[in-house]
Amino acid sequence: MAILPIIETPDPRLRVKSKPVEQVDDALRRFMDDMLETMYDAPGIGLAAIQVGEPIRVLVIDLQENDQKQPRYFVNPEIIWASEELSSYAEGCLSVPDVYGDVERPARIRVRYLDYNGEQREEELDDLLATCLQHEMDHLEGILFIDHLSKLKRDMLLRKLEKNRRQRGAA
């Protein structure tokens, strides 16, 4: 397995719309293993393929609750139902590092996807898993969590991000 470089905003690749995967094969499984290792190393709880520069509809998630590794793989995910009820969560992103903003999204969703073995699955998700999946699915459309914030809040976070980068560069 390998740790892949994570691209950060304003890299234009983060704005690309990712393409569906045609086949879940060994090469894709190896790539998903690398994505997972990259996510654990970062560390983060979710990663979309485009964040390591691959414009394909693949994402990995592991909330690592109770210190247990529970990797989940979603290939070609589709939201087929979303609750009217919303929930708000202070989201962050490995491609928009070290800044956070509250985003409101449907509290529960039903998702259809292919798993690690290429089997089609359908599942209802709630809480952090629902939030995380919607955040990662946004990446497949070239959308970042900061796009959901007011311009004022977004500009504030981007200024903070630049300041952090300057400080890191100076250190």
How far apart (Å, rounded) are the C-alpha atoms in residues 39 and 94?
A: 9
Least Å distance, CB 164 to Zn ion, is: 17
How far apart (Å, rounded) are the C-alpha atoms in residues 51 and 70?
A: 21
> Closest CB to Zn ion among 75 and 91?
91
Binding site for Zn ion (CB under 5 A): 93
- Cβ-closest position to Zn ion: 93
- All residues at 6 or more sequence positions from 131 whose CB lies less than 8 Å from its CB, including other chains: 87, 89, 91, 103, 105
Least Å distance, CB 6 to Zn ion, is: 10
> Closest CB to Zn ion among 4 and 93?
93
Least Å distance, CB 147 to Zn ion, is: 11
> Closest CB to Zn ion among 93 and 103?
93
> Closest CB to Zn ion among 24 and 93?
93
Q: Which of 54, 136, 141, 162 is catalytic?
A: 136
Reference 73, options 107, 30, 17, 105; nearest CA is 30
For residues 116 and 29, the answer to whether their CB atoms sit within 8 Å is yes
136 in catalytic set: yes
How far apart (Å, rounded) are the C-alpha atoms in residues 171 and 166?
A: 9
For residues 121 and 114, the answer to whether their CB atoms sit within 8 Å is yes
Least Å distance, CB 17 to Zn ion, is: 15
What string of DSSP letters covers 132-159?
A: HHHHHHHHHTT--GGGGS-HHHHHHHHH
Q: So which residues are the catalytic ones?
A: 136
